[in-house]
Amino acid sequence: MTEYDYWEIFPRMPKKVSIGDITIRDGFQHLEKFVSTRAKIYYLEQLIFAGCRNIEVTNLGNPYLMPQFGDAEELLSHLRHDRFKKRCEKRGIDYDDLVLTAITIREPSVDRAIRLREQGIGPDRLLMMVSTEEEHHFANSGTTLPEYWKEAERSIKKCNDAGMMMCGTVSTIWGSPIGGATDMADAVEFAKRWLEIGAHDIEHADHDGSASAPDVYRYYSMVLDAIPNTDLHIAHFHETKRVSSASVLAALQAGITQFEATLGGMGGQPANFLDDCPVPGTGEYYYDDPSYVGLICLEDLVVQIDEMGIEHGWDVDRVLWLGRQMERTVGHRLRSEAAINGRTLKEGHPKFARPGLKRLKDKLGEPAGQKLPPEWGEKAVLPEQHRP
């Protein structure tokens, strides 16, 4: 007999997950227009009020390269202010549950985070990043992998000594937009290396949408076999082929409990143009059409998780509303389907019903709810050749 209980078929699949948001950092870094500091503060607050507890606030890298983040310290200052803490308290949010993350790809950014920590406005968690494919890693960081690993080791010690956590990201797990195919076993080894040098957790990143569901399941199964503590692992999927919901499902089936996303599916390679001016970013885009890069949509993800009956802690309707607001902020249609079409409602959408069904059933003498001719048997009888 076929087993119909999903959690019996996939016993590692969680019944509760954590979904972090990275809109203000990863989502905005690819935009070719500056988003005002006021708007960034608004969305940071609203995402937290909607249920986010792990949020990427900004990038502490050189604002000359990425001027979108020239207001990094102002954002952190706002979230550390007593006024914001009181707003959280008023809404029943334990401020101590929030984890504020800043990206610090290179050591000078880590040093900057430590100085901010000493001023009382520093982040709780930093993030550094390696790619298993060295050309992609070089494009992101400007270093070789061996050189970067030594820098990361120094940086993690500084970070931990300052009372902050470090997330180590592993990228190009399922392929590189520059170097092509990669070996998933390399990514498992890199994850172990991050923990070996003191990282607090690991972001496993599909930074170019290369992943397919079978390989996502294989990889996360490999990871959890090697490093079983699910608290250490975060799934990070990009959406370039409209298949990331399948990747999310495969990761869930493997046992992953932590995910991250952006409103509208924004994000991708840092912009090399902002408003009316070219900027360095990380150089030329390595996509033929940069409008088709970005992460999984937060709106679609929370709807998917919610409709699976998995606990997540978000106010789904508020997230969908924020997604619609974000489209007004950026000035164009974003990629979320759920933000436009909403959830699948159990009560349906009666407003779309055609008039006259009740009248016709009354005319035919059919009781409400009758779906088959009354002379038919109670249960269908399959022809013998179609029986199991």
Q: Maximum Cα–Cα distance for the chain, whole Å?
A: 81
246 shares a domain with 134: yes
**How many domains are contained in the chain?**
2
pLDDT of residue 349: 83
Q: Judge if 216 and 298 occupy the same domain.
A: yes
Whether 223 is covered by a domain: the verdict is: yes
- Statement to judge: residues 355 and 334 lie in one domain: no
Point out the residues of the chain with pLDDT beneath 70: 1-2, 290
Do 320 and 375 fall within a single domain? no
Contact 235, 220 (CB under 8 A): yes
Distance CA 226, CA 268 (A): 29
pLDDT digits (tens, 9 = 90+) for 288-342: 776 778 999 999 999 999 999 999 999 999 999 999 999 999 999 999 999 988 8
354 in the same domain as 240: no
Q: Note whether residue 371 is domain-resident.
A: yes
What is the tens place of the pLDDT at every residue in 209-239?
A: 889 999 999 999 999 999 999 999 999 999 8
In a domain, 283, yes or no: yes
pLDDT of residue 1: 52
HEC sequence for 338-369 = HHHHCCCCCCCCHHHCCCCHHHHHHHHCCCCC
- Strand 277-278 relative to strand 54-59: parallel, antiparallel, unpaired? unpaired
**Domain co-membership, 237 together with 364:** no
Residue 360: which domain range?
A: 350-386
Domain membership flag for residue 2: no
Same domain, 290 and 355: no
Domain of 320, CATH number, reads 3.20.20.70
Same domain (yes/no): 33, 168: yes
Residue 3 lies in a domain: no
List the structure tokens of 322: 């924020």
* CB half-sphere exposure, 205, CA atoms < 13 A: 27
331 and 354 share a domain? no
pLDDT, position 241:
82
> 99 and 75: one domain?
yes
Q: Of the candidates 145, 261, 143, which has an alpha carbon nearest to the alpha carbon of residue 206? A: 261
Q: Is residue 26 part of a domain?
A: yes
Residue 1 lies in a domain: no
Q: Is the same domain home to 235 and 95?
A: yes
Q: Could you tell me if 45 and 94 lie in one domain?
A: yes
* Residue 69: burial class (beta carbons within 10 Å; 0-12, 13-18, 19+): buried
